[in-house]
Structure 1
Amino acid sequence: MDFGLYRQLWRRRPVRNLLLVAMVARLPHSAAGVMLTLHVVQTLGLGYGAAGTVAALLTIGIAVGAPWRGRRVDTAGLRVALIPSIIAEAVVWSVAPHLGYPGLLAAALVGGVFSLPIFSVVRQSLGAMTTPAERRTAFALDSICTEVTFMVGPALAALVAVQLSTVIGVTGVGVSAALAGLALVWFNPPTRSDQAGGALAPEGIAGAGANDDVASCLESAESAAPAEVAAGQADGASGLRRLLSRAPGGLRRGFGWLTVSVVVVLVVAAGSGIVLSGTDVGIVAVLRGHGEGEELGIVFLAWCLASLVGGLVYGAMTQRVQPLLLLLAMAALTIPMGFASDVWSLSLLSIPAGLLCAPTLSAASEAIAALVDEGKRGEAMGWYGSALTAGTALGSPFTGLMIDAAGPWAGFVGIGALGVLLCVAGLVAQSVRRRRRASLS
């Protein structure tokens, strides 16, 4: 491990400014879920089911809009791509709290589609501003900053909702998000290494070895070049390549970056979303079941701090770890949380799984940056965000069904087992693919 890597990155002013702007930009989004829930329950006087529907539509909107926003960054540049999001964030969330419930549902969907693509923009920019050898540390540092933001955002949302009003709070989320977008437009971080402020070492020279390391970790011998997709009929070509080679020309060119290894990373993102959102619901259910719902913050603090520490350690590592293995460990360590008997035991049991949260997401982001060409990386990061969001949307209701069927403990067991099965299936598929390649060589 080399913790000096953090010091080296933080000393670079463009990287430091991007991370600080990202922390501020993520605050509105980290507060939005709690604020909308409190608005529906507290101001509109509806139930948590109705609030969950608003959150679900917001999530669907984000999942649909993220790849499109990412593609616009690739094709039109960051400043042009962010303009619709800046306008929509300010307008939609200023109008939304004055609407009835049906109008709020529509606003949540539209707001999600045009949501500021802060996650994909920051990760894409970090990928462009750092060499492949530095990306593990850069993405881990971003994950640490994100954990800090999500410690502050929900608490700030609850404070505003109680002390002022949810109408002011929802409007504030939109205005803050728009201002964050303007800050990104002003800062205009590079999204490609050949732009001003891009990586000091071109990917094809000094950084090539690090990219090869990540790619080999995912067992990828494929390139994302569309020309190679056209040659997908060759012996040993993957089923995905053959499928893309038969697709219409526009679809083939548009998804030429999609390889089996990239699909594995997207599965990791979806699985991470499932486990993390399920853990959220499980924590609430277990504490309420033991009559300790007011102690929720203690468990979330322990969980988030563990993730922060895990991200710090992972970013200092020089040894690569496959994202699928990290997710497997995180899912397996989530299962024991179901056996907690009070707030303190749940806090302690949340630490092992929490230690792997930030490393899993950092490793997956690093893999996307290594496997996808810069010209398509914004779109790929958008799909990565969509996969993570889709997993988040699936994890909560699945966990809720398990809790309703068997009790609070079953939420953690069910979500952990589902994550383990997903990872085992991915590892088996990789093993079969490796043996098939060996037999053809």
Structure 2
Amino acid sequence: MFLARLPMTMNGMMMTLYIVTGLGRGYGAAGVVGAGVTLGTGVGAPLLGRCLDRYGLRPVVAVCGIGTTVFWAAAPHLPYAALAAVAVPAGMLSVPAGSLARQVLAVLVPLKERRAAYSLDTISIEATFMIGPAAGIAAITAFSPTWTLTALGVLFGGTAFLIWLVNPPLREEVAEPEPLGPRPPLRSWLTGRLVATLLIAAGALFVLVGTELATLAALRSNGDLQVTGLVIAVMCTASILGGIVHGAVRRSLPQGVLMLLLALLVVPVGLADQPWWLLMLVLIPTNLVCAPTLAATTETVSRIAPPQVRGEAMGLQDASTRLGLALGGPVVGFAIDHSSPAWGFAAAGLGGLVLAAAGLLHRRSPAPEPVPALADSRN
């Protein structure tokens, strides 16, 4: 799954550079294609999750792997209009590596050890973000766009084939070969607690993308863009350290408390945005709880979602994170454009708090009436 996620961290930067330099378009045009892929991924995640629940891993991964390979191999030969038109369906066919990894861990790891497993998975994600974007930029600047985008498609297809070949389990093996039972109705398992967890996941990604955008803006306004890579690397390292601690301790903080710390600790960062090394230091506390927050939400979803719909629930989690990404960039960008980078940090933290608070309020809403799914299925 580390290898499968690696090209996913490269494709955004590579597509942006290709559209700007190869096609001669602006960053706004590149943003339209990127937004289309993000929208397609968010819409497709729960649908692919439901297909995983119904048809299993291999058919879904085969279709997604072929579709993604064809898209990236054809991308350097398409005009901009065609590229923008196929961005949404291409995003919908992205291999759901994140939800697959979480489903497999839910099967292979005992419940009491899942915190450590999901923390390790989150650490793996941080590692891909430390490697992937830099490798993608280096590749597309050193070689032709046709070669690099085609190679990226081959990498997508190769990792999809490896997942197809290994075929990890998505369901627990039982002693008796009996089915798990019918798919429970949506309102029987999409409870207030699960919706709260999904909104916390969206809030966490809102904070993360907003913090990165505000950090970039602060470094740019102070003339310190050359140290951006170092600052991002320190942020990722802090998140990895937090993930290690979260996975190692016997009892960690609840996801609501972690989300609260993640958001509140970033609000005052803009007060110390220069010199660059001071900004880097004050960003460490909020990033220490980054990986723990994401791991805690994943652990909660895996624990409360029924096995029959675990793929769909994990897909909804993916969709909620995409929602946070889609909202965080424009909102924080608006705050920066109309004030300063310092207010960007405040907007990132406060926006994440709004989403998380909406989830916690929904959690307190009355539980739905139980649905007699098994009785209905026999009629």
Q: TM-score, normalised by structure 1?
A: 0.78
Which residue number in structure 2 is paired with residue 32 of structure 1?
11
Using the alignment, how far apart are the partners of 1:262 and 1:426 within structure 2?
9
Aligned residue pairs total: 361
Which residue number in structure 1 is paired with residue 76 of structure 2?
97
Which residue number in structure 2 is paired with residue 146 of structure 1?
125
Q: 5 Å matches for 1:24-423? A: 24-194=3-173, 226=184, 253-339=185-271, 340-423=273-356
Change (3 A) 1:432 1:78: closer
Counterpart of 2:108 in structure 1: which amino acid? M
Change (3 A) 1:23 1:184: same
Counterpart of 2:140 in structure 1: which amino acid? A
Contact 1:93 1:111 (8 Å CA) reproduced: no
Using the alignment, how far apart are the partners of 1:293 and 1:280 within structure 2?
13
SS in 2 for 1:406: coil
SS in 2 for 1:359: helix
Deviations 1:60-116 (A, max 9, x none): 000011111111111111111211101101111111122121111123212100001
Contact 1:25 1:177 (8 Å CA) reproduced: yes
Deviations 1:247-296 (A, max 9, x none): xxxxxx24532111100111011111211111121111111111111211
Contact 2:45 2:96 (8 Å CA) reproduced: yes
Which residue number in structure 1 is paired with residue 372 of structure 2?
none
Question: How many Å apart are 1:30 and its aligned residue?
Answer: 0.7
Counterpart of 2:276 in structure 1: which amino acid? V
Deviations 1:285-323 (A, max 9, x none): 111111111211011001100000000100012114321
Using the alignment, how far apart are the partners of 2:287 and 2:238 within structure 1?
5
Change (3 A) 1:301 1:148: same
Question: How many Å apart are 1:429 and its aligned residue?
Answer: 5.2
SS in 2 for 1:46: coil
Contact 2:196 2:363 (8 Å CA) reproduced: no
SS in 2 for 1:138: helix
Change (3 A) 1:76 1:279: same
SS in 2 for 1:161: helix
Question: How many Å apart are 1:425 and its aligned residue?
Answer: 4.4
Using the alignment, how far apart are the partners of 1:381 and 1:53 within structure 2?
26
Question: How many Å apart are 1:166 and its aligned residue?
Answer: 2.8
Change (3 A) 1:65 1:423: closer
Counterpart of 1:317 in structure 2: which amino acid? V
Tell me which of the two structures has the higher relative contact order, counting C-alpha pairs closer than 8 angstroms and 6 or more residues apart.
Answer: 2
Question: How many Å apart are 1:169 and its aligned residue?
Answer: 2.3
Using the alignment, how far apart are the partners of 2:237 and 2:42 within structure 1?
27
Counterpart of 1:287 in structure 2: which amino acid? L
Which stretch shifts more, 355-364 or 320-329? 320-329
Question: How many Å apart are 1:337 and its aligned residue?
Answer: 2.4
Change (3 A) 1:430 1:84: closer
Using the alignment, how far apart are the partners of 1:431 and 1:418 within structure 2?
21
Question: How many Å apart are 1:125 and its aligned residue?
Answer: 0.4
Using the alignment, how far apart are the partners of 2:292 and 2:284 within structure 1?
14
Using the alignment, how far apart are the partners of 2:113 and 2:315 within structure 1?
22
Change (3 A) 1:296 1:195: farther
Contact 1:332 1:416 (8 Å CA) reproduced: yes
SS in 1 for 2:188: coil
Change (3 A) 1:311 1:103: same
Contact 1:225 1:257 (8 Å CA) reproduced: no
Using the alignment, how far apart are the partners of 1:324 and 1:353 within structure 2?
14
Which residue number in structure 2 is paired with residue 4 of structure 1?
none
Counterpart of 1:192 in structure 2: which amino acid? R
Structure 1, unmatched stretches of 5+, are 1-21, 197-223, 227-252, 435-441
Using the alignment, how far apart are the partners of 1:400 and 1:268 within structure 2?
21
Which stretch shifts more, 393-402 or 276-285? 276-285
Using the alignment, how far apart are the partners of 2:54 and 2:154 within structure 1?
27
Which residue number in structure 2 is paired with residue 13 of structure 1?
none
Counterpart of 1:76 in structure 2: which amino acid? Y
Contact 2:217 2:341 (8 Å CA) reproduced: yes
Change (3 A) 1:382 1:427: closer
Q: TM-score, normalised by structure 2?
A: 0.91
Using the alignment, how far apart are the partners of 1:36 and 1:137 within structure 2?
35
Contact 1:284 1:296 (8 Å CA) reproduced: yes
CA RMSD of aligned residues (A): 2.0
Using the alignment, how far apart are the partners of 1:55 and 1:317 within structure 2?
38
SS in 1 for 2:223: coil
